[in-house]
């Protein structure tokens, strides 16, 4: 951001206006033509083959990397439907309360969770270094990308 000719310039608004003015003047005597798409416009897309139907679909966030392939498609003919997410794709949150923080951390990482936050909160019912609360609660489906908060008695 800066000041140019007593105007605050930020982002692309002023350059876009200048470009529009320039191009309007530069092309004023040219005929208007519709864009014709080339016939050989091919694109590469990441896809996954649905094992049940054989259909090529877009991968979802749970698709293993070794199942994703790159295929070439004619523009407009590429898959637009994503591989469905099944309940089996989302792991069940393990119980990590009332155990040592190292054990809780090991269990969460083994389950695929990496966005783990530990908060120190005094709680006299458990020894120091032990967990006493977690969010989200255990026993329910929780995506591995979600933030997991675990409270620890310091």
d(CA 66, CA 82): 17
Q: Cis link prior to 136 (omega < 30° from 0)?
A: yes
At 37-64, the pLDDT tens digits run 777 788 999 999 998 899 999 999 888 8
Domains, the chain: 42-87 (no CATH), 91-152 (3.30.10.20)
At 8-48, the pLDDT tens digits run 767 777 788 889 999 999 999 999 889 887 777 889 999 99
d(CA 90, CA 146): 11
Report the predicted TM-score, pTM, of the whole model to 2 decimal places.
Answer: 0.56
d(CA 142, CA 125): 27
Residues in the chain: 154
At 117-135, the pLDDT tens digits run 999 999 999 999 999 999 9
Q: Rounded to an integer, what is the distance from CA 30 to the centroid of its chain? A: 44
Residue 48, classed as helix, strand or coil, is strand
């Amino acid at each position: 951001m800066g000041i140019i000719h007593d105007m605050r310039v930020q982002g692309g608004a002023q350059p876009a206006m200048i470009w529009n003015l320039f191009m309007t003047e530069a092309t004023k005597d040219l005929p208007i033509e519709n864009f014709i798409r080339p016939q050989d416009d091919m694109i590469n897309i990441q896809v996954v083959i649905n094992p049940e139907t054989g259909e090529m679909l877009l991968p979802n966030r749970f698709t293993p990397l070794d199942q994703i392939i790159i295929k070439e498609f004619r523009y407009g003919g590429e898959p637009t439907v994503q591989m469905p997410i099944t309940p089996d794709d989302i792991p069940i949150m393990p119980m990590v309360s009332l155990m040592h923080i190292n054990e809780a951390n090991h269990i969460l990482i083994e389950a695929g969770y990496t966005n783990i936050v530990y908060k120190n909160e005094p709680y006299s019912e458990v020894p120091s270094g032990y967990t006493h609360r977690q969010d989200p609660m255990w026993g329910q489906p929780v995506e591995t990308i979600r933030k997991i908060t675990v409270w620890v008695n310091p």
